[in-house]
Amino acid sequence: MVTPGSQPMVVRIRPAKELWAINKIPGTYSEQVALSRDIPCEHSILGMFSEVKFPVPWGHVAAKAWGSAEGHPVLCLHGWLDNANTFDKLIPLLPRDCYYVAMDFSGHGLSSHRPAGCPYHFLDYVSDVRRVAAALQWRRFTLMGHSMGGAVAGMFCFLYPEMVDKLILLENLGFLLAPEDTEAWLESKRLVIDRLLSLEAKQQTPRARSPEAALQRAQDGLLVPYKLDTRNHFVKDLRKAFESTLKEHIQLIEVPGSHFVHLNKPEVVSGIISNFLTAQNTRARL
């Protein structure tokens, strides 16, 4: 399927029978540490590859590279509990004028695990892809994903359509949002990733504020009515939904103070909470 403009061309491949990934296939290793397109990974035979590592805050993201770094860039994404070796038999059969990089997602293959206790969310895998693309200085490239990697590739295309020229999905249908959710989701998720990578790139010491300035910023709570229209439409909608759904089962009480009123002036809320805890009839107004 070909679509005009900046939208990527999508090819979906779904075999009649499931094909299991074959891992740990021998190859020719030439270990490299790479941050740009100057990676010396030029091979005349696509059966030969080089190992690449990209630094990240928790360690590194490992990858394998085939072909000349001057070729058309293709980033390959493996599936759940798999690794970059899943593409070892496929890539040698593909066009030789491309530069193929198969990455290991965090916690997979030779890539570093995230810190203990940190979950592995799909959006984190999308961040991994964005980091690798930035390290390679790729502005526009092809994405090929298998299984979970296809879902990550689809999500990346949703967030960064201008960076992907073609999308190849193996045993996956990609990623799709309901039309009414698309705009808000794209804006919020892309902002999260871009800000995170920007902060990591700057590596600056967090700015310290004076006690007076900090006090001024903690001046009002987050749910102050006059702020809802300009700062948080989600909270405003949530409040309306609660009120319309729960009706007499919910009581919203406004008190003077800041976001930390429970800490700075606990007596303001202690009576309200105490009355609710000791009330026999929870429908009684506080």
Q: Max Cα separation, the chain?
A: 80
Q: Which of 50, 106, 111, 147 is catalytic?
A: 147
**Residue position matching structure tokens 């035979």:** 45
Separation CA 271–CA 286 (nearest Å): 9
Residue 258 falls in the annotated catalytic set: no
CB atoms within 10 A of CB 154: 23
Strands 98-103 and 72-77 turn out to be parallel
- Beginning with the edge strand found earlier in the chain, give each strand of the sheet holding 98-103 in spatial order: 9-13, 164-170, 141-146, 72-77, 98-103, 59-66, 50-56
**What residue type is 2 in one-letter code?**
V
Catalytic site positions:
147
